[in-house]
Chain A
């Protein structure tokens, strides 16, 4: 999930554990499953499996009601088992628990014992599996069931000639192909689970209620004496691995292999089988040769493919490898399951493939939902989707072909007959992928040619997809227009303020333009208040030279930096030369970065064309009214062409220029956003009209903001606008135009993502480049003189450069404090939970922020020993040492609370401990005075 959406899963790319367990049990002969929980679980799972397999899916339920949840579900389970046995006579019953049973803590193993005691006459093997929905996805449920099968069936460990084959979830047709292969190779095998027939049935004269095919109990019991186990899953956790259990308990050698869904993975399977004595027949060599022949035939089409592959981890892994070896780059590999191993397993393949085709970006994501997949597919330029039918909504929206080859396939038939493994199966999947790409080209070709040669470039419409872009390039003008449009689209998607969600993209405001040509009644431009975050505030003002160097420095440490913005701190057009020079300097070494600018709009008509030429693509204009009479209440004065205007004249002048400027930038194709500060009693009744007006001018979106009251401003005491009110207004206006809902009202020197401002890490950067010329701003100079050293962005405790005595010679702080804070404003964190300390210096009664020092938190929810860490050993002790090292040069530590063990440690080092909840500055001053007093006393 994305940074924005961490608590809300939007359109999940996974199902729950009991679903996987029930599927696994379908590979056992004469076996039935009962879910211990409320009956909805069984009903829903039956519905989903039946729709995919087009077969009866019989899963019973213990039908727990409120009574069962209060008094325990034993009665229901015992009765359920009895009813099943009486009506169906199964040989094996799988009992999978559900969220409900696991949450109330049902002891299923004991209930099963009770059942056998009560009914000694009923010979049925009952296998329990813990499958809480919150414990994992259907992937984990499948493997956990198989693990439970081998650990619960009575085993016969006497050696036999069989090989255990345990594949990940495959379609029945794929399982049949796997069995055919093993027969061809003349290997005696035990296949668990054998899904070949039960879920892809044959029309027979008599319908059998119990699944007749599948591995039998007797066969399972022989798995302990097999020559080896081949587990066809690399990503399954050892705790859920049946092969690992057989190896550890009975000494059956274990081979863990990928699902054979690619040439290399099939080769690997065959060579292991050969090693174990299989005979490789000529037919198989031919199948491999045919696959290779086909790969060579279709490579030229595949190279244009940019695939999204999604689904269960094993499927994604092997399918991505198939695509890579065919030059079809999987730009996004995504699984809904938690699977940290997927990315490392794929990295080499993806890197190699991407490099061959000169593609920069690809991603591997786990714990991912379709909302994320959609966004990523778009930004990574995918033109093909491979996975289950759950991707159909994304495919439809993005107009991508979707190859349905994994569970579930709900909107088409044949999900149970899809082939994806072994040489012929890989080939069949590859053909489908290639044909999807070809079809895309074929169906769009005529339209493209028509658009290109019979319509003007401006009218030309191109279907999405990389393939079409290649044809577009035959007409340079059209190609350029198209490229520009798609570039702008990409830039908008990567611009945190314009893309509607912020996201992982970072931006940087360069404070190069301090002067302003208008005075708004809500504004007092005050620099260097590190704890204040609002527009117009900055710690320092940079020269264009400094700004471009700072950009270069920050970019090297913040690769997600996509946007450079100039937001004053005054008006970015009031000192046009500085703004222009800054952007020119940066463009010299970075042709990619998005230029963005915010202005009051007074000089916009004058500079709009120059902005476009400079490559500025996004402009924000603050426009608070379209009525000069109202404007007169908002603006004190406007300075234009060397003259100062006041009252309605000023407002009318400003407005005329704003509207003309907005129209001009929109005509030039720039993306324009309008910020509106909602002022109660002044412009709050006409917000809709403003939004409509700027929409008519061609604006992209508006951002209605709360006014931040500032001491000393005319509007200091104006009533505040609540979140509720602002939400309501935005909602109302969203009918007219797209609204920005995530504005953070950033500082003029903000750096980082909208969610996480990192400007403080970089705030004194230019001081390092002191020889580039003295800073002009007195405030900035003062700061630069006060702080000698520059710290890189990420400071880890291990690499923490403690101030060398030489560097600090002319400035030895009297007192230094490490502060535990999460907000950066208040002392609000427990010592043990600090992930980075804020270091403050106190000198001459001035509190001064120095740096942040990163340390790992000492306490985590899962490592708490209830003694403040006093009972800990090993890694925790090491971490403690690191933290102590990080604060070694401090005179005191200020935190919300602290555990006993670290308190002793700090006291031993004579570091004063202050526990408080206060503003940082006040707390530091208080602690310093306390320390002074103590020292004097001593």
Chain B
């Protein structure tokens, strides 16, 4: 019985029918399998997915540092998104220090709805909350995020936002991201993308310091990843206008449309904006990945080749050579300690893909990977998008279409330039993403929306040396004797991006694999070990 069959075997008929489409083995013939992604989770089987509100407030909107984001709802939802993603930020706009910038992403604002607000409606309370926020924090903008009850009792948060904007001249945007919408966080990403596109992007203007100005879309600066990326790009001569949305200020986002290229890190959460920026302003986007040594090198070269400037290309090569030389010794040592190990990955939007490349740099092969809330294009590549059938849950999420903005539409590359780029650099996938599976080895397992039960079983069946996931399933994996590290918040470590980040990551991994505890789990008064951790072998050499 192969692993997939063994895993599905424990399920009853109904669950089996549902789950079989989510679990597959990467074919050895190079064909692309179909993943049953972005469909409802089964009740009662512990999914690791969050809700629509989590995707909107927790992921996309929350990190913006100079905006008051008010959670309109009972206290829990707001409380649980308070500082939990370790989105780092510093008081600056486009790298320039701002003395008086309020760092509002450290705060959690909630209307703390009580029973009477549910019965009589919460609009008045929300309006007053906005007024109080203006009075005390003088923010440049207020965002309002809805929770489950808001949609049910029919509070018109958009009307409140409009009236606040009208009365106080403060940008105010409402997000109807009630938790029950869609099937996962992903719905919330889409809703956030739509509103940011509609109300924020294009409303500002700032001078471009260099034509090599980019946005990094889908970089949430967890553990400080974005700081490294920004610094590395700056050394190459590439200026970052804005990051969506780690360490972002509202002004940067408002003028993001002026950048000449968009870099996409997390494809899932931000591809809508990348797409809409292309349509409305003509800006090309490039899927990049700064997680992994080779991936970072490719990303830097792709950017330089896109701009096609020889000085920039030379500078990129110089920076790469310098960085590789600096960490060569570290990389070699860590590779010697990690090579030959196997890993499992279960993270959110694009990380399960990104980290496979980083692991590969150190000789670790990925035998199991899955996404929490991805769509088929994240697995199979964007070419499947036209063939994705919208189900009832998908249809409930608004899709907005934008038109080219005649005043501001311009592409950096001329049509001839684009043609030339295609010919000289066929490896550059402009405005495209090929998905995770193309980078996986044949025979590896893909599990979409991996639930707690499957996680536990797969540890037994696949036996990876290391499993990367989040806090919720971390302890189940660890109790089962497999080393587990968090990739949502990096177990309070990081940054893991670019060259130095790769060294940080490898250091943490070696520290975990070779900690003495694995050797001590053998209980001295018992003849056989209490736990047979695969990692114990590593601890003994």
Contact = CB atoms under 8 A, between A and B. Distances in A.
Contacts of B75: 9, 12, 14-16, 133, 137, 336
Contact of A61 (B47, B83, B84, B113): B47
Given A44-B54, A133-B75, A68 B136 contact: no
B422 to A, nearest CB: 42
Interface string A732-765: 0011000101100000000000000000000000
Interface in B90-114: 99-100, 106-114
A786 interface: no
B100 A742 contact: no
A38 B148 contact: yes
B206 to A, nearest CB: 16
Interface stretch (A50-58, A116-124, A310-318, A877-885): A50-58
A18 B53 CA distance: 17
Contacts of B138: 727, 730-731, 734, 739, 741
Interface string B30-53: 000000000011111111111111
Given A60-B46, A77-B43, A501-B136, A38 B180 contact: yes
A9 B109 contact: yes
Contacts of A209: 456
Contacts of B50: 39-40, 43-44
B224 interface: no
B76 interface: yes
A410 to B, nearest CB: 8
A43 B47 CA distance: 8
A88 B476 CA distance: 14
Given A50-B471, A134-B115, A66 B476 contact: no
Contacts of B107: 10-11
B139 to A, nearest CB: 9
Contacts of A689: none
B198 interface: no
Contact of A99 (B73, B79, B106, B116): B73
Contacts of B10: 87
Contacts of A336: 75
Contacts of A9: 75, 78, 109-112
B169 interface: yes
Contacts of B153: 103
A727 B74 contact: no
Contacts of A16: 74-77, 79
A14 B479 CA distance: 30
A8 B109 contact: yes
A653 interface: no
Contacts of A81: 44
A500 B70 CA distance: 21
Contacts of B151: 69
A336 B74 CA distance: 13
B400 to A, nearest CB: 19
B170 interface: yes
B49 A43 contact: yes
B163 to A, nearest CB: 12
Contact of B108 (A12, A37, A723, A734): A12
Interface in A337-389: none
Interface string B471-485: 111111001100000
Nearest to B10: A87
Which among B73, B107, B113, B472 has the highest number of chain A CB atoms within 10 Å? B472
B288 interface: no
Identify which of B49, B456, B475 gathers the most chain A CB atoms within 10 Å of its CB. B475
Contact of A43 (B54, B82, B132, B531): B54
Interface string A1-28: 0001111111110111111000000000
A661 to B, nearest CB: 27
A79 B44 contact: yes
A861 interface: yes
A831 B151 CA distance: 35
A55 B475 CA distance: 5
B168 interface: yes
Given A8-B132, A34-B44, A47-B471, A15 B476 contact: no
B43 A61 contact: yes
Given A7-B128, A99-B147, A62 B43 contact: yes
Interface string B114-140: 111110100001101100111110101
A104 interface: yes
Nearest to A501: B136
A385 B189 CA distance: 38
A855 to B, nearest CB: 24
B43 A40 contact: no
Interface in B469-525: 470-476, 479-480, 521
B384 interface: no
A14 B46 CA distance: 25
B415 interface: no
A46 B44 CA distance: 14
A4 B132 CA distance: 7
Interface string A56-83: 1111111111111100000011011111
A146 interface: no
A53 to B, nearest CB: 8
B396 interface: yes
Contact of B152 (A62, A84, A103): A103
A203 B531 contact: yes
Contacts of A205: 530-531
Interface in B289-339: none
B82 A11 contact: yes
Given A4-B135, A4-B136, A735 B393 contact: no
A201 interface: yes
A768 interface: no
A8 B148 contact: no
B431 interface: no
A125 interface: no
Contacts of B471: 47, 50-51
B182 interface: yes
Contacts of A41: 51, 76, 179
B125 A133 contact: no
Contact of B148 (A15, A50, A62, A99): A99
Interface of B: 10-12, 14-15, 40-54, 70, 73-84, 99-100, 106-118, 120, 125-126, 128-129, 132-136, 138, 140, 147-149, 151-153, 167-170, 179-184, 392-393, 396, 452-453, 456, 470-476, 479-480, 521, 530-531
7 contacts: A39-B50, A56-B476, A63-B42, A68-B180, A83-B45, A134-B115, A725-B169
- Which 7 A-B pairs have CB atoms at the shortest separation, nearest pair first? A40-B51, A16-B76, A80-B44, A80-B43, A133-B74, A83-B44, A44-B80
Given A45-B80, A58-B46, 14 more contacts: A12-B108, A15-B75, A40-B179, A44-B50, A44-B77, A46-B46, A69-B180, A79-B43, A83-B42, A87-B45, A133-B73, A724-B168, A727-B138, A861-B120
